[in-house]
């Protein structure tokens, strides 16, 4: 029998990030620390948890468009408003 130490040396756990996790990370990175407001990563993830992955891609494209046109403040307002409406 192999010891526990031997088993742990051979088993490497690789974290694979999914598309959904990458999308949520995108929103967390862009929305945290905006104007000295602390949006927790957990709060953002919970708000996005009920949205389908396809719809998250759409929300990301709208967010990027608003980011280019209105800046971070305008994009953030539109993002939170769109979540309240759903």
Answer whether residue 8 is part of any domain. no
Answer whether residue 13 is part of any domain. no
CA–CA dist 82, 84 (Å, integer) = 5
CA–CA dist 77, 53 (Å, integer) = 21
Contact 74, 62 (CB under 8 A): no
Answer whether residue 26 is part of any domain. yes
Token pair in block for residue 54: 């396809």
Answer whether residue 76 is part of any domain. yes
Answer whether residue 34 is part of any domain. yes
Answer whether residue 29 is part of any domain. yes
Answer whether residue 3 is part of any domain. no
**What pTM, to 2 d.p., does this model score?**
0.69
Segment among 7-11, 44-48, 51-55, 60-64 with least mean pLDDT: 7-11
What's the CA dihedral at 79, 47, 56, 32 to 10 degrees? Answer: 60
What confidence tens digit (pLDDT) does each residue in 6-24 have? 666 654 545 556 888 899 9
Domain that holds residue 48: 18-85
Answer whether residue 43 is part of any domain. yes
Q: Say how many domains are in the chain.
A: 1
Between 5 and 59, the more confident residue is 59
């Amino acid at each position: 029998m192999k010891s526990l130490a031997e088993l742990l040396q051979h088993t490497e756990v690789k974290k694979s990030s999914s598309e959904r996790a990458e999308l949520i990370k995108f929103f967390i990175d862009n929305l945290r620390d905006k104007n000295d407001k602390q949006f927790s990563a957990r709060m953002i993830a919970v708000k996005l948890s009920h949205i389908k992955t396809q719809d998250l891609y759409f929300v990301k494209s709208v967010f990027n468009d608003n980011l280019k046109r209105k800046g971070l403040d305008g994009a953030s307002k539109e993002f939170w408003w769109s979540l309240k409406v759903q």
